[in-house]
Amino acid sequence: MTLAYPMTDPRATRPDSALTRAFERHGVRMTYDRNEEIYAQDDEVEFLYQVVRGVVRTSRLTAEGRRQVGDFYYVGDLFGLEPGPDHRFGAEALDDCEILVVRRSVVRAFAGDAELDRAILEATRVEMERLQDHVVMLGRKSARERVACFLMSIAQRGEDDHANLAMGRQDMADYLGLTIETVSRMLTQLQGEAIVEFPSSRHFQIRKWTALEALAA
């Protein structure tokens, strides 16, 4: 991890006003290498993070060594926003990342600012809804449906029809509660049905949106 320099470039964050200001004035821009840990599971919750460049994954390792990926965070996303005293999930850089970091105490000092509160609430809302969807997916969806779901959610982030996976098969599997082999099989299966197309293992394009939507369940 490299401490780069205090945050000054306002272009990096979306115009969230108070939040942007807090990041601008009191944030620090950090860079992380691929697979570098941003914070560890069970670390104290001290900072609020925003992705400037790259993709971040949160994950939890159980006592038996099993891993569950919590979520993936893209440019503009806030993360590390856990209400508890310490992190249940750790955060790692999926690829080379640039992250804005600001102390929670600083954020709290800005509290009362309506726009900042809204931004935090909004991030919490998004976080919770993702968790709820995740629960339904893991509890009640088949492997095929989970993979379809995942591809759709990735594709919806990008505006054009081509999408690229920032993560490898193991990360997908650990997010979806499956094994890499099953993920791989489902992908080739979907490709065989011409629903999606993978020119390379990290790039894909959805061919039949309706079919995929029907699958996503």
Residues that bind a copy of itself (CB under 8 A): 60, 62-64, 66-68, 70, 82-84, 88-89, 121-122, 124-125, 127-129, 131-136, 138-140, 174, 176-177, 217
Look up tokens 């009362």; give the residue: 112
Look up tokens 């299966």; give the residue: 189
Query: Is 31 among the residues that bind DNA (CB under 7 A)?
Result: no
The one among 181, 193, 197, 213 contacting DNA by CB under 7 A: 181
Q: Which of 48, 143, 164 has the alpha carbon at shortest distance from 100?
A: 48
Residue 50, beta-bridge partner list? 78, 100
- Beta-carbon contacts of 5 under 8 Å, excluding residues fewer than 6 positions away, are 29
- Beta-carbon contacts of 128 under 8 Å, excluding residues fewer than 6 positions away, are none
Look up tokens 């509160």; give the residue: 117
Task: Note the helical H segments in the chain.
Answer: 18-26, 104-109, 114-140, 143-157, 169-176, 180-192, 209-216
The one among 94, 187, 190, 212 contacting DNA by CB under 7 A: 187
Indicate the residue among 142 and 205 with the shorter CB distance to DNA: 142
Would you give the binding string for DNA spanning residues 118-157, x where CB under 7 A is met? ------------------------xxx-------------
Indicate the residue among 1 and 131 with the shorter CB distance to a copy of itself: 131
The one segment of 98-106, 110-118, 122-130, 168-176 that binds DNA by CB under 7 A: 168-176
Report the interface residues with DNA, using CB under 7 A: 142-144, 168-170, 177-185, 187-188, 198, 200-202
